[in-house]
Amino acid sequence: MGRELWHFIDGERVAGTSGRAGDVFNPATGEVSKSVPLANTDEVKKVITAAAVALPAWSTTPPAKRAQVMFNFRSLILKHLDELAELVSSEHGKTLEDAKGSISRGLEVVEFVCGVPQLLKGHYSESVAGDVDSYALRQPVGVCAGITPFNFPAMVPMWMFPVAIACGNTFILKPSEKDPSCALRLAELLSEAGLPDGCFNVINGDKEAVDALLSDPTVAAVSFVGSTAIGRYIYETGCRNGKRVQALCGAKNHMVIMPDADMDQAVDAVMGAAYGSAGERCMAVSVAVTVGEETGDEFIKRVGPRVQNLKIGPYTDPLAEMGPVITRESKERIERYIEEGVTSGAELIVDGRGLQLQGYEDGFFVGGTLFDGVTSGMSIYCDEIFGPVLSTVRAASYADAKQLVLDHEYGNGAAIFTRDGDTARDFTQSVNIGMVGVNVPIPVPVAYHSFGGWKASLFGDHSIHGMEGVRFYTRLKTVTARWPSGIKEGAVFNFHSGSDTGH
């Protein structure tokens, strides 16, 4: 791809006409790598029109034919996996292996909707009354929009648009303007897979584009993943304009470590869960809750050196375990939180500030950071930092640890590490969290289950992908029908002979 990016509308690359553009950075070097057009309201209306024009034919296309497009799309993603991962890593900064893994998780959703004829099957009840039958079916909602974050520029969009499109809707994706190239390439691959023009469109933009999507009456449904503040705005604005909205928002995910836990397993798990993707994921473990002083001491003793020795580098370094964060502003915000943690009295075991790599001095790198002695009133505990910062909270008992999870405003994910089945069962049954792991640090469901939190982590009635996704992107219609038989006693069904037959 060249330096100047574009929109993808009605099957074609379309140059921006608003006169506004944003910079796309290489986070490892701090340099501007591309320019992305930022759409105005007129450009958004153009893309909505394209999606609306394509809707009647696509919504009546047999589900088996829609599934065939998804089969083709799956093959193309596998063929171009290295190319897609390069686009993700060069604009986000995550390692290539991390990028490939995230694309593979999105691919699982494509594979799930290859079975859409089965997913859309209705149900039928015969003779609910005299000569009356009743049946239910699911139909597409119409033109749908997705507003997605920078941290997973392939996976999160693929949690949305394959389900929507396979269910017979048309879709408009507004990706993050910080790393839009992968979304544009996916649009081209979908066209190559046989998707008709206008069924999937990509419009780049900022708040002006988002507001245009939220206010236009043609858009029937909006999916969002991002921060809680923006998610609440999108949910309230979209609902006020008569749309169905699912908004998956912020998180502060706890990992409770019981005294009987396999500590080697727990430490290995927390390293990947807290520092993978530089902590820039809504399911990252950002709070380790150790139960009992001995458990806390042993955890810090083991995890501290691991954090100190994290291999940090650009995505081009095959040995790198963690890359930079997305922007200079993100780096500065994370470092402010680290300073607030120190000021509030937490013990800074490993300080990730001030990290500079030779040859990458202007990159947006933050080293792995570890706190001990964190309490529930500190900002590093309360807020979603979205960076490689792990806060350790020491709890005197299991009941105290569970209460921390219950009381936090976010309810996306939580995990417990223990060998005790009673404790694990109580935790999974009683915490007010949408996704729970037992000896699994990041309990992201597979594609045929659904992803979504509770409390301030989700606005709307439906989680994403799986059958919840199918329900979100379809409307239930129930038909009650009476067909008088018309069969009368004495009716004649045989051919007549003679002049009245024309023979």
Q: Which residues are catalytic?
A: 282
- Judged by DSSP in three states, 355 sits in coil
- Is there a contact between 5 and 35 (Cβ–Cβ < 8 Å)? yes
- Is there a contact between 256 and 416 (Cβ–Cβ < 8 Å)? yes
Helix (H) or strand (E) holding 59: helix 41-59
The backbone region for 345, taken as left when phi is positive above 0, alpha when psi lies in -120 to 50, beta otherwise, is: left
Phi, psi of 19 (to 5 degrees): 85, 0
The backbone region for 464, taken as left when phi is positive above 0, alpha when psi lies in -120 to 50, beta otherwise, is: beta
Neighbours of 458 (CB within 10 A): 25
Q: Which residues pair with 24 in a beta bridge?
A: 34
Two tokens, residue 102 = 């995230």
Q: Which residue is listed with tokens 């727990």?
A: 266
Contacts of 136 (CB under 8 A, 6+ apart): 122, 123, 124, 476, 477, 478, 479
Q: Which residue is listed with tokens 């949910």?
A: 235
Label residues 29-58 b or e (16+ Cβ within 10 Å = b): bbeeebebbbbbbebbebbbbbbbebbeeb
Burial degree of 373 (CB within 10 A; 0-12, 13-18, 19+): middle
- Judged by DSSP in three states, 331 sits in helix
Handedness of CA 68, 72, 78, 83 (dihedral sign): negative
- Judged by DSSP in three states, 175 sits in coil
**Residue 44 vs residues 171, 298, 451: alpha-carbon distances, Å:** 13, 55, 29
The residue length of the chain stands at 503
Distance CA 437, CA 414 (A): 6
User: How far is residue 22 CA from its own chain's centroid?
Assistant: 23
Q: Which residue is listed with tokens 């935790």?
A: 427
Closest to 197 measured CA to CA, from 168, 170, 167: 170
Contacts of 336 (CB under 8 A, 6+ apart): none
Phi, psi of 483 (to 5 degrees): -125, 95
Contacts of 490 (CB under 8 A, 6+ apart): none
Distance CA 179, CA 201 (A): 16
Amino acid at 134: S
